[in-house]
Chains A and B, each alone.
Chain A
Amino acid sequence: MVGVAAVVVLTAVGEGARRYVTQEFTSLGTNLLIVVPGRNETTGSFPGAGGVPNDLTLDDVRAVERDVREARLVVPIAMGNDTVANGERRRQVAVIGTTSDFQQVRHLEVTAGSFLPPGDLERGAAIAVLGAEVARELFPAESPIGRVVRIGDWRVRVIGQLAPKGRQLAVDIDNLVLIPVATGMRIFDLTSLFRVLIEVRVHSNLESAEERVLALLADRHGEDDVTVITQDSVVGSLNQILTALTLAVAGIGAISLAVAGLGVMNLMLVSVSERTAEVGLLKAVGATGRQVQRLFLTEAVLLSLGGALAGLGLGWGLVRAFVALYPAFPASPPAWAVVSVLVLAVAVGALFGVLPARRATGLDPVEALAGR
């Protein structure tokens, strides 16, 4: 029973993790290319590890916009961290310098005011859009629209506020401040962009777009010094890892099932020896060996089926509790796990029931009945 519950819960969580990640990524659109400065990195988590040979600049962004026909949107991202303050209310947040198209690529909604306006990349207006959490912290009682906040030593005017969105790919959207990319590079004194996001028009263009971007930037920089990550490859490999994880976890559950099977066997053996007299009696009143064996096998199977169903119920309850605690996490046991765990539990019960049943059949009725 515990084994079944374990399998259900663990596979549910594993499967949930897989779905969560896949969903997160695909919510960003699978038509996305991410350009990262620096070469030879696969994860994108350490840009510049090993030295960035050339900056990724706004000129590069413009070149991509102009020359890569497959690209629908090209969004530069400059990244920094600083204190954002409204008078005495302050908060350390991630500040992203970007353009109006960021809204589309990241599927953001604005609850008040407006998003960053489209316009010249180089024009660094002193304006900002606040994430939901930042807005609430800095302006608990009033609307932040039109107010001025400080980012470090710089003063910017709030023009918009984002709808609550939660975390998206390890980035807490609610705790972001968005400013125009040129402003961002000036505030944080950056020469290179952190990322360039490219959304292609159709999914089938992804590869050719990737090639064209690489060629273009290699040409402009004089060497191959950027990495392009496709959403697909990231999702694919994560998916693989998490599937493997789920399977491993299911394997652990299966082992506990085998242990449970031994438990069933033990129980049945005890049951057989407790009921030797009964077995003897059954034989005396004309039961064949096969009938006795079937009786005990049925009992073993019922026992393990009962355990399995109870385990399933327990597991389901735990998963429900888990989901209630973490609603964003789509944990639910995959159907294959539920079905196979039931089949496995019953099979284990039957398998481990055979030995006790054999023993019952083999009991000498003479001795079985001699228990006076």
Chain B
Amino acid sequence: MIELDGVQRSYPVGAEPLVALKDVSARIAKGEYLAVMGPSGSGKSTLLNILGCLDRPTAGSYRLDGREVGTLSADALSEVRRHHIGFVFQSFHLIGRLSAHENVALPMLLAGIPEDDRRARISTALDAVGLVHRAHHRPNELSGGECQRVAIARATVMRPHILLADEPTGNLDTANGEQIMRLLERMNADGLTLVVVTHDPNIGRRSDRVLVLRDGEIVQRVPGRELRPDALFESRA
């Protein structure tokens, strides 16, 4: 359960602070499939970073499973990210020098999980994305879709209950994108809370609920199936 109340995020730029998020309040239930949409600069990424505990709100409250995390120290936030949140990025962010297996191992290394345990969990995670046979390939030997699947394995290997995906299909062709979305949705069906930031109305329509952001505010909250393809960007040039 994610609870945002009056969350604000501003950056000190010059005399007048730049406000990226004005006043965002939202509840995201456990196991929900939420899409965050909106034009560039609307604050989508800022919101995602705050949800992911990579960034802290300048004002307002963020409670994760009832615990206030908006004011935690940097180290405590690392701890929260490590155990509760998985990230998937548009450009995968795999480490090129490491094999798929090693990339998936990374979060567990940082968390200090013993090697035997690590092996088993990596196999499970790679199996879940159908890439056990590619475990010892490096990212440059994998296709884009495969890279994203490795990234998803990495994001889920610590068994978080929230998965944050920032344009997960942005760098993929339609077929691969579809495959990734199915994978994410299957994990969601297994109980993982899924938050997808996207430009793509087709993805928005598949979600349980869409939050539309504009200029740092939520301007629309609709169930995904009610999202009209043309509803999003009409006022934005």
* A277 to B93 CA separation, bound complex (whole angstroms): 7
Interface membership of A365, Cβ < 8 A: yes
Given the known inter-chain contacts A371-B91, A372-B91, please indicate yes or no for A286 contacting B111, CB distance below 8 A: yes
CB <8 Å contact, A286 and B79: yes
Interface membership of B143, Cβ < 8 A: no
Give residues 73-94 of B contacting A (CB, 8 Å): 74-75, 78-79, 81-83, 87, 89-91, 93
- Map CB proximity to B onto A245-288 as digits: 1 under 8 Å, 0 otherwise: 00000000000000000000000000000000110111111111
Shortest CB distance A302–B (Å): 15
Interface membership of A123, Cβ < 8 A: no
- Map CB proximity to B onto A284-312 as digits: 1 under 8 Å, 0 otherwise: 11111111000000000000000000000
Q: How large is the interface on A (under 10, 10 to 19, 20 to 34, 35 or more residues)?
A: 20 to 34
| Cross-chain contact of A284 among B75, B81, B95, B167 (Cβ < 8 A) | B81
Q: Which residues of B contact A287 (CB under 8 A)?
A: 78, 110
CB <8 Å contact, B110 and A289: no
Interface membership of B28, Cβ < 8 A: no
* A281 to B82 CA separation, bound complex (whole angstroms): 12
Shortest CB distance B137–A (Å): 19
* A282 to B93 CA separation, bound complex (whole angstroms): 10
* A93 to B155 CA separation, bound complex (whole angstroms): 88
Interface membership of B55, Cβ < 8 A: yes
Interface of B is mostly: helix
| Cross-chain contact of B45 among A281, A364, A366 (Cβ < 8 A) | A366
Q: Which residues of A contact B46 (CB under 8 A)?
A: 366
Q: Which residues of B contact A285 (CB under 8 A)?
A: 81-82, 87, 106-107, 110, 154-155, 158
Nearest residue (CB) in B for A371 is B91
* A372 to B171 CA separation, bound complex (whole angstroms): 10
CB <8 Å contact, B158 and A286: yes
> 18 A-B residue contacts at CB 8 Å?
A277-B91, A282-B110, A283-B78, A284-B81, A285-B81, A285-B107, A285-B155, A286-B79, A286-B83, A286-B107, A287-B78, A287-B110, A288-B79, A365-B54, A366-B45, A366-B46, A366-B54, A371-B91
Q: Given A284-B93, A288-B78, 17 more contacts at CB 8 Å?
A: A277-B91, A281-B93, A283-B78, A285-B106, A285-B107, A285-B110, A286-B82, A286-B111, A286-B158, A287-B110, A288-B75, A290-B75, A291-B110, A365-B55, A366-B54, A366-B55, A370-B45
